Amino acid sequence: MLKRFYPLAGATYRHVGRIKTGNAIVNADASTDYNEIPATPSRHSQIGFTAGIGYRFVDELGIKVVPEIRFTRWINHTFDGLSYISSPNQAQVGVGITF
């Protein structure tokens, strides 16, 4: 079995578009309301920096299994309002399997 550890780092780009939002509202008189007015992002395009590690396993049959951990730090916030703000940090764990 072939095993290989690797680091990864680089710039990351994301585009935010076609946002679907549902708002359920309960009023003071116990009546309810609902709308689907889309949320508006502060920025549609963002740049971030990504770093991570991975490990690649290849068995005798050629099956490859690659677990990977990534961390991305976004330079700006996607959503930024008076009562809310999006996190600039994003962590990901993934496993890729190829034959």
Is the pLDDT score of 93 beyond 90?
Answer: yes
What is the domain partition of the chain in residue ranges? 2-98
Please report the pLDDT score of residue 17 as a whole number. 83
Burial class (CB in 10 A: 0-12, 13-18, 19+), 21: exposed
Tokens representing residue 64 in the block: 């490859």
Tell me the average pLDDT of the chain: 90
Please state whether the predicted TM-score (pTM) of the whole model is above 0.85.
Answer: no
Please report the beta strands in 1-99, taking only residues with DSSP state E, as ranges in sequence order: 2-15, 23-26, 32-35, 45-58, 64-74, 89-98
Cα–Cα distance measured from residue 77 to residue 80, given in angstroms and rounded to the nearest whole number: 6
Residues 33-79 pLDDT 10s: 898 888 788 888 999 999 999 999 999 898 999 999 999 999 988 88
Is the pLDDT score of 82 beyond 80?
Answer: no
